[in-house]
Amino acid sequence: MATPLKPGTSNACNITALSLACEVNDVLRDISPRWKMQVLHKIAAGVNQFNSIKNAFPSLSDQILSKRLAELIRDELIHKHIIREKAPKSVHYIISDKGIELLKIIDDLHKWGLRWI
């Protein structure tokens, strides 16, 4: 989340209640930030360098792309692979097995949405 929740607020209480009711709510919250699944999908398709990902989404800011990449790494959905340490530095992002499995589920959600929404 962008800003930490203040304990005791109705929003914090609602998130806690939803989390306790069903873990799916936690999963949906974790995968739902804008651009996160689109970036993961591009990396899975072989678009694996920062500038290439950025070019695929012209309206995506560098700041948000960096944030989403960090989240994907933290969530172990992608791996950061440094090819060259020295300038020009070359970093590639590679989807993990966990990320591949999630994309299968996201694809099913996409198909469901096309059919029902």
- The per-residue pLDDT for range 55-73, each reduced to its tens digit, is 999 999 999 999 999 999 9
Query: Mean pLDDT of all residues in the chain?
Result: 90
Cα–Cα separations (whole angstroms), residue 9 to 29, 61, 99: 18, 31, 33
CA–CA gap between residue 26 and residue 28 (Å, rounded)? 5
Q: Which residue has the higher pLDDT, 62 or 16?
A: 62
3 state SS of 107: helix
Per-residue pLDDT for 116 more than 90? yes
| Domains of the chain: residue spans and CATH | 1-30 (no CATH), 33-116 (1.10.10.10)
Mean pLDDT of 8-16: 76
pTM tops 0.95, yes or no:
no
